[in-house]
Structure 1
Amino acid sequence: MDIPDDLSTGERIRALRESRGMSRPVLAQLCGRGPDWLKKIESGERELSNHTLLLRLAAALQISDLAVLTGRNDGATVTVPLGRLSHPGLPAIWSAVMNRSFATTPATGPVDPVLLQGRADQTWRLWHSSPRNRTEVGALLPELISDAEAAVRALDGDQRRAALGTLSDICRLTGQATAFVAPAELAWVVADRALSAAQDADQPAAIAASAWNLGNILRETAYPDEALRVVTEAAELIRPHLDNAPDDWHGVYGALQLHAAVTAAREGREGDAWRYWGKGDQVAKSLPASYIHPSTVFGRANVDFHAVSVATDLRKSSKALGLADDIDPDIMPSRERRARLWVEVARGHLQRGDRTAALHVMKLAHEIGAETVAYTPSARAIAADLWRSAPRAMRKEAGQLAEAVGVMTAG
């Protein structure tokens, strides 16, 4: 349909919805929200700035170009993944995960759960250290998944429980490596397998870590209330076990608090967001200053990084940028997390209208973690925004960034 150029995003959503004969409750349900939320969006009472929700609305309305929804048709085409972003490593990972139920043959050789966990730990380190983490980790995951499944089938007793814990760990890594590229069914299968394997292993820390992973999927698919429930329940599950527990149990508990902080912030719940962040901060203070959780990278630096995210999600850009000024990013060993910090800083600069600064830090983010930027919707949205509206003197650089992260440019 032809949409007048002067319509707002909310008015466009309403026009497109009505042209397709969709009721407000139906469209809202497809986005995981209620009809009152959609009514406020359509009336202009509430601003729609969440990129994930914009994509979800566009997909539900079967719009392939986000500009049709936003009205911003001035240079960059942000393609709506009516499936998801694509990555060449996904088919092999999909096969390894989805063929699990048919893999009934026994392991071909001796299985050592300690060596299997060592491989999983090494792959997690690669995830956090490589600028091309999705590609390099994705190449290792199919064999790692298959070997972990074989170990669970071949072992019994304590060794089987250890292998189940490792399988849960590998499934969580699979969820990280395929975020935003896996179809929904794969994301849910992996999350469910991580949680069920942890429960079968009877490992409270693994159960809590799997809940953290499930919370990520729920939050990014626009189910914030469910995400918050999952991570807070998991935190309550593990909290009674923390006395005299290993540091990594405390690290998982702290990571759950930070997850809840960001989830609350994205919903505009400022008091709750800082309360959860404060709990994470207290956990970090109770651990050695150099402590880093091996998969969630919870520790002192990550708590400080999350303060920037919380402030940015609350649209407190001055506070976010002030907090970022006091951080030394190099103390964080995870490239992936450092790249995401700079994306958050870029968001803060954009909130203040400083596109020159936003472009500068986005280039830093891309240099640190190219695939983190290329496969994160919020980073792609920033790159597209900068291509459309960067100062004339910066247009060439903005275009190069948009191309590098896979945002299609015209002209």
Structure 2
Amino acid sequence: MDFPDDLSTGERIRVLRESRGMSRPVLAGMCGRGPDWLEKIESGERELRSDSLLLALAAALQISDLSVITGGTPEVAQPVPLGRLNHPSMPAIWAAVMNRRLAPPAAEPVDIATLQGRIDQTWRLWHTSGHNRTEVGALLPELITQAEAAARTLDGPQRRASLAALADVYRLTGQATAYVAPAELAWVVADRALTAAQQADAPAAIAAAAWNMGNILRETAYPEEALRVTTEAADLLRPHLDGAPDDWRGVYGALQLHAAVTCARDGREGDAWRYWDKGDQVAKSLPASYVHPSTVFGRANVDFHAVSVATDLRSSGKALSLADDIDPDAMPSIERRARLWVEVARGHLQRDDRTAALHVMNLAHSISQETVAFTPSARGVAADLWRTAPRALRGEAGRLAEAVGVTAAAG
């Protein structure tokens, strides 16, 4: 369709929806939101800030080029993924998760301490590898199978330990398959992690599984449910914190940061910074060098989240100022370091500084190619830069877009 240049994004969405004979409730429901939300978007009363929701609307409207909705340079396409991203590890992971047998496995006894040690090593690999999805994805099928076998064959205290290990494996599976798993697998994995943790009756494992469930809820456009799950888990864990191991407080702090980002993405500034402050206080109560093994909660992660909260609130000046005071090398997770620079790039884009945004996106890509290639916010930034970069930087922006996998034939 040809649109007048002065049409807003909301007006374009309304015209596209009506041209397809879709009602507001139908289109909003396909994006996991209500018709009142869509009415505010179409009328311009509410700004559409979420890249994932913008892409969801485009996919629901069967628009293959996002610039049809956002406007911009017509000769440069911004492709819309109309399905999930693909990764070669998914078939084996799918088989391990979805082909679980009803009969108990006939296998060698599993030593739960050895299995937990392997799981811990794989979590470290997730945070220290620049190709974490590929390397962790190759290990997950066997870990899933062994953890399932242990949970179904061990008794007594070992069974509780095996259930906690199973929850840990499924949380790791959720991390490694985020944005590439079919929706049904993502939900199954999150639910199994939480169920196993509850059966183990382990408060810290329950809280960590709730943190993982919150990620799934938030990324599938259920922010209210994500906030409820994470705050309930924090309330469950809080009475156990006095004298508890550091990792229990680490999970509690991670839940606060999760709630902060959830509120920030919904434009709730006061709540977002209130939850961030709670996470900050937890970090101050822990040793300065402390890092939680799976959520990487610690001093550096709290500081990184401050940048994310400010960026999601579109306080780009504050976000960039906060980023200036951060030492990225204090964060042991390669994935989180790469995502920090993606957040900084988003801040630069909010200020229309595409030169700076392209520079830091290239830095993020050099740190972790897979993080940039498989994270929607990073792909959105790369596509935006490819579509709108200054002419002198168009070649560099195109090379980044091609490396990330967001290019499409112009036409």
Q: When the two structures are superposed, what TM-score results if normalisation uses the length of structure 2? A: 0.97
Give the match for residue 305 of structure 1.
Answer: 304
Deviations 1:122-164 (A, max 9, x none): 1111110111111111111111111111111121111111111
User: Does the aligned pair in 2 maintain the 1:216–1:227 contact within 8 Å?
Assistant: yes
Give the match for residue 106 of structure 1.
Answer: 105
Distance 2:408 2:332 in 1: 33
Question: Larger deviation: 60-69 or 145-154?
Answer: 60-69
Aligned residue type for 2:380 = A
User: Does the aligned pair in 2 maintain the 1:75–1:410 contact within 8 Å?
Assistant: no
Give the match for residue 96 of structure 2.
Answer: 96
Q: Report the CA distance between 1:215 and its aligned residue.
A: 0.5
Aligned residue type for 1:91 = P
Give the match for residue 410 of structure 1.
Answer: 409
Q: Report the CA distance between 1:45 and its aligned residue.
A: 2.2
Give the match for residue 7 of structure 2.
Answer: 7
Distance 1:91 1:329 in 2: 35
Check if 1:64 corresponds to 2:64. yes
Distance 1:227 1:200 in 2: 21
Distance 1:9 1:319 in 2: 26
Distance 1:79 1:190 in 2: 29
Q: 1:72-91, aligned counterparts within 5 Å?
A: 72=72, 74=74, 76-91=76-91
Deviations 1:213-243 (A, max 9, x none): 0101111111111111110111001000111
Q: Percent identity?
A: 80
Question: Larger deviation: 309-318 or 382-391?
Answer: 382-391
Distance 1:89 1:76 in 2: 32
Query: Structure 1: any 5+ residue segments left out of the alignment?
Result: none
Distance 2:2 2:98 in 1: 42
Distance 2:84 2:306 in 1: 29
Tell me the secondary structure at the aligned position of residue 168 of structure 1. helix
Question: 1:212–1:297: structure 2 CA closer, same or farther, 3 Å change rule?
Answer: same
Give the match for residue 193 of structure 2.
Answer: 194
Q: Report the CA distance between 1:72 and its aligned residue.
A: 3.7
Q: Report the CA distance between 1:7 and its aligned residue.
A: 3.1
Q: Report the CA distance between 1:74 and its aligned residue.
A: 3.6
Tell me the secondary structure at the aligned position of residue 408 of structure 1. coil
Tell me the secondary structure at the aligned position of residue 125 of structure 2. helix
Question: 1:344–1:118: structure 2 CA closer, same or farther, 3 Å change rule?
Answer: same
Q: 1:256-267, aligned counterparts within 5 Å?
A: 256-267=255-266
Tell me the secondary structure at the aligned position of residue 189 of structure 2. helix
Q: Report the CA distance between 1:75 and its aligned residue.
A: 5.1
Give the match for residue 179 of structure 2.
Answer: 180
Question: Larger deviation: 383-392 or 274-283?
Answer: 383-392
Q: 1:233-382, aligned counterparts within 5 Å?
A: 233-382=232-381
Distance 1:89 1:7 in 2: 42
Distance 2:67 2:93 in 1: 32
User: Does the aligned pair in 1 maintain the 2:79–2:408 contact within 8 Å?
Assistant: no
Deviations 1:43-69 (A, max 9, x none): 122221211001111222233332333
Q: When the two structures are superposed, what TM-score results if normalisation uses the length of structure 1? A: 0.97
Tell me the secondary structure at the aligned position of residue 108 of structure 2. coil
User: Does the aligned pair in 1 maintain the 2:104–2:153 contact within 8 Å?
Assistant: no
Q: Report the CA distance between 1:3 and its aligned residue.
A: 4.8
Distance 1:19 1:75 in 2: 23
Number of matched pairs: 410
Tell me the secondary structure at the aligned position of residue 32 of structure 2. coil
Deviations 1:332-369 (A, max 9, x none): 00000000000000011111111111111101100111
Aligned residue type for 1:205 = A
Question: Larger deviation: 203-212 or 381-390?
Answer: 381-390
Give the match for residue 18 of structure 1.
Answer: 18
Distance 1:133 1:248 in 2: 23
Distance 1:351 1:300 in 2: 26
Q: Report the CA distance between 1:76 and its aligned residue.
A: 4.6
Aligned residue type for 2:161 = A
Give the match for residue 52 of structure 1.
Answer: 52
Question: 1:266–1:169: structure 2 CA closer, same or farther, 3 Å change rule?
Answer: same
Q: 1:126-205, aligned counterparts within 5 Å?
A: 126-205=125-204
Tell me the secondary structure at the aligned position of residue 308 of structure 2. helix
Distance 1:207 1:5 in 2: 51
Q: Report the CA distance between 1:183 and its aligned residue.
A: 1.1
After superposition, the CA RMSD in angstroms is 1.4
Aligned residue type for 1:362 = M
Distance 1:343 1:403 in 2: 17
Deviations 1:150-201 (A, max 9, x none): 1111211111111110110110111111111111100100000000000011
Q: Report the CA distance between 1:82 and its aligned residue.
A: 2.9
Question: 1:103–1:369: structure 2 CA closer, same or farther, 3 Å change rule?
Answer: farther
Question: Larger deviation: 253-262 or 149-158?
Answer: 149-158
Distance 1:158 1:350 in 2: 53
User: Does the aligned pair in 2 maintain the 1:76–1:384 contact within 8 Å?
Assistant: no
Q: Report the CA distance between 1:410 and its aligned residue.
A: 3.5
Deviations 1:53-111 (A, max 9, x none): 011112222333323332345455443333211111111111110011x2524242121
Tell me the secondary structure at the aligned position of residue 307 of structure 2. helix
User: Does the aligned pair in 1 maintain the 2:147–2:162 contact within 8 Å?
Assistant: yes
Aligned residue type for 2:26 = V
Check if 1:40 corresponds to 2:40. yes
